[in-house]
Chains A and B, each alone.
Chain A
């Protein structure tokens, strides 16, 4: 297989959500043929640059996935399957990208706020961000405001994403943003919020920088915040 064909094959397997040869694929049964991780290893062994793999195969694959979602051909679980292939590919590519001096697109801390255990939405956002090349630090659920702030400062993250499902816990978002006041890092981090009871009005009210209604809007916000 030539280099170009290999990149096309990676792109196809991202769209098919196949991490490795044992995965079936979304449209047709491709099991047995190499998946994204095997193909990325192969490409690196042939001396294809990590950046080329990222831009010409993986990102373009995710763009195709996004288009299929917009057209109603793909559903959320399809998107996540594709994002997982990218996450797996990024683990392989990361050392090469570092060596080449290519940084991740941005670094985001994610947390579901104190008192709230509902974190599926936040997990999806995390997967999608990882799957598009962001570096994600996920603090889990029921996280204390001070712990969130410390994690942002320690990791020098440029973004923070907060989630809440309950009307009784959403005010914790405001507490968390206020917890930055003693630390002074607030101007270096963009805060996005989301969850069923949250609205753009609420986001504005508590001084957040953006509201995402779903994982795709979260992704758009991240791109805006990172100037991509």
Chain B
């Protein structure tokens, strides 16, 4: 069944109180106006100047006053619609809605046959896209793997083409070259029929990370400005890591994430006022032993949940990160880390939560089995987000009266009528009694997930592009390798 994504009562988990939000906000404004942002290149300096920031050419720093932040936040849309290929998979990124999907970009995959880690190829993206298309609780495909065999200038078109060929869900992705990003947009316009129809129903969107601390990467900043000028939705998350590229305290790291992502919003809104930009967080913590990046820590859950409160405070659509793991194999750690951070971000009302399926080992590796396991986790998470419906029907006085003392509810129409919408029905979890479970081969979760992967990949291949458009695209974009 299809679960409603409109959260009944989102935002129920709130790691910050109102005063906490205010203090993070005020500290962020001080950092933006007093410390300032490193200016990556002359092209971006111009955008900062145009925005109203004070650019110090000697120090190469842009100080952004509070009124500029206020103006640019106001110019950004409160809601962004990320479309699927038809109307069924559209995502309205705004308060009240929670969506969870894949993330990346991983360089490796756990080989489905050998279980060994190896570098990912374009064919692996085909498999993941097909899985995501079938998995009912994964709401979007954020292009999760990097095709290592292709030259970098061919990567963007190939990744988006593969995603768009094999799933009807929204496709978002990081981009690697300016020319590649531009070619992806031209390709999507051909699929949409025209440049305008792609803007009306953007079934692609892009991510350009704002590098922390306070030091945007010139390459990604230019990419972001290009995409904003094209009017294609762009997420501008920041990824400060506690104790490494941001303060070790959660509040301090939150300030850093807020400052860097707001800078992205300022640049995008200056480049193209009103363009769909998505504020975001990829903030996380580090392994204190070696200051290495972590993606499965509970602190990451805290940071990304609090980010939802900040986004809501600014009235910005929010791109969050949760649901990945640092485990190297599909094991118990894999499931508990994924479940804990996913549910924290989702219950906080984060709008668009990426990395929530398939991703492991410091976000460097994906596993096909993990997509299937995470699909189950996400189903349960969304049930929690939906909360408890209160209506005369759900309060059930009439059926309590009908059953009476000592009666049962098993055979009541009320039960039949309500059970499917009130209860998440698992597709992977084992609820058999021991005897039946033994009879069906005594399979553990991993074995059952493998069977699901096999079933989906062995089924008929569903393509979302007609043979005619495929042929047309392949002649126009000869780099297409799938």
- What string of 1s and 0s marks CB contacts (under 8 Å) between B411-429 and chain A? 1110111010000000000
Flag whether B408 is at the interface (Cβ < 8 A).
yes
CB of A32 to closest CB in B, whole Å:
16
A124 CA to B408 CA, complexed, in Å: 10
A81 CA to B413 CA, complexed, in Å: 7
A80 CA to B408 CA, complexed, in Å: 12
A80 CA to B413 CA, complexed, in Å: 9
Which of the 9-residue segments A44-52, A70-78, A99-107, A153-161 touches chain B?
A: A70-78
Flag whether A123 is at the interface (Cβ < 8 A).
yes
Flag whether B410 is at the interface (Cβ < 8 A).
yes
Nearest B residue to A200, CB-CB: B435
Chain A residues, Cβ within 8 Å of B412: 77
Chain A residues, Cβ within 8 Å of B419: 75, 77
- What string of 1s and 0s marks CB contacts (under 8 Å) between B283-315 and chain A? 000000000000000000000000000000000
Chain B residues, Cβ within 8 Å of A138: none
B411 touches A77 (CB 8 A): yes
Nearest B residue to A80, CB-CB: B411
Among the interface residues A23, A81, A127, which one has the most CB atoms of the partner chain B within 10 A? A81
Nearest B residue to A23, CB-CB: B413
A123 touches B416 (CB 8 A): no
Contact of A213 among B413, B417, B435 (CB under 8 A): B435
A127 CA to B412 CA, complexed, in Å: 12
Chain B residues, Cβ within 8 Å of A127: 411
B410 touches A26 (CB 8 A): no
Chain A residues, Cβ within 8 Å of B406: 117
A76 touches B410 (CB 8 A): yes
Chain B residues, Cβ within 8 Å of A123: 408, 410-411
A78 CA to B413 CA, complexed, in Å: 9
B416 touches A17 (CB 8 A): yes
Chain B residues, Cβ within 8 Å of A26: 416
Flag whether A84 is at the interface (Cβ < 8 A).
yes
CB of B416 to closest CB in A, whole Å:
5
A84 touches B435 (CB 8 A): no
Chain A residues, Cβ within 8 Å of B413: 23-24, 81
Chain A residues, Cβ within 8 Å of B435: 213
Flag whether A120 is at the interface (Cβ < 8 A).
yes
B416 touches A124 (CB 8 A): no
A24 touches B417 (CB 8 A): yes
Nearest B residue to A83, CB-CB: B411
Interface residues of A in 1-49 (CB under 8 A from B): 17, 23-24, 26
Chain B residues, Cβ within 8 Å of A81: 411, 413, 416
- What string of 1s and 0s marks CB contacts (under 8 Å) between A114-151 and chain B? 00010010011001000000000000000000000000
CB of B10 to closest CB in A, whole Å:
29
Nearest A residue to B435, CB-CB: A213
Chain B residues, Cβ within 8 Å of A75: 419
A123 CA to B406 CA, complexed, in Å: 12
- What string of 1s and 0s marks CB contacts (under 8 Å) between A74-101 and chain B? 0111101100100000000000000000
Nearest A residue to B409, CB-CB: A77
Chain B residues, Cβ within 8 Å of A24: 413, 417
B408 touches A77 (CB 8 A): no
Chain B residues, Cβ within 8 Å of A84: 411
B416 touches A120 (CB 8 A): no
B417 touches A120 (CB 8 A): no
A23 CA to B412 CA, complexed, in Å: 12
A124 touches B411 (CB 8 A): yes
A120 CA to B415 CA, complexed, in Å: 15
Chain A residues, Cβ within 8 Å of B416: 17, 26, 77-78, 80-81
Nearest A residue to B418, CB-CB: A77
Contact of B410 among A17, A77, A117, A213 (CB under 8 A): A77
Chain B residues, Cβ within 8 Å of A117: 406
Among the interface residues B413, B417, B435, which one has the most CB atoms of the partner chain A within 10 A? B413
A81 CA to B416 CA, complexed, in Å: 8
A226 CA to B417 CA, complexed, in Å: 34
Chain A residues, Cβ within 8 Å of B408: 120, 123
B417 touches A80 (CB 8 A): no
A77 CA to B417 CA, complexed, in Å: 9
A124 touches B417 (CB 8 A): no
CB of B205 to closest CB in A, whole Å:
36
A127 CA to B433 CA, complexed, in Å: 23
Nearest B residue to A127, CB-CB: B411
CB of A9 to closest CB in B, whole Å:
20
User: B-side interface residues toward A, CB under 8 Å?
Assistant: 406, 408, 410-413, 415-417, 419, 433, 435
Other than A75-B419, A81-B413, give 9 A-B pairs with Cβ distance below 8 A: A23-B413, A24-B417, A76-B410, A77-B411, A77-B412, A77-B419, A81-B416, A120-B410, A123-B411
Show 5 A/B contacts (Cβ-Cβ < 8 Å), sorted by A.
A17-B416, A23-B413, A77-B410, A77-B412, A213-B433
User: A-side interface residues toward B, CB under 8 Å?
Assistant: 17, 23-24, 26, 75-78, 80-81, 84, 117, 120, 123-124, 127, 213
The 3 closest A-B CB pairs, nearest first, are A80-B411, A77-B415, A120-B408
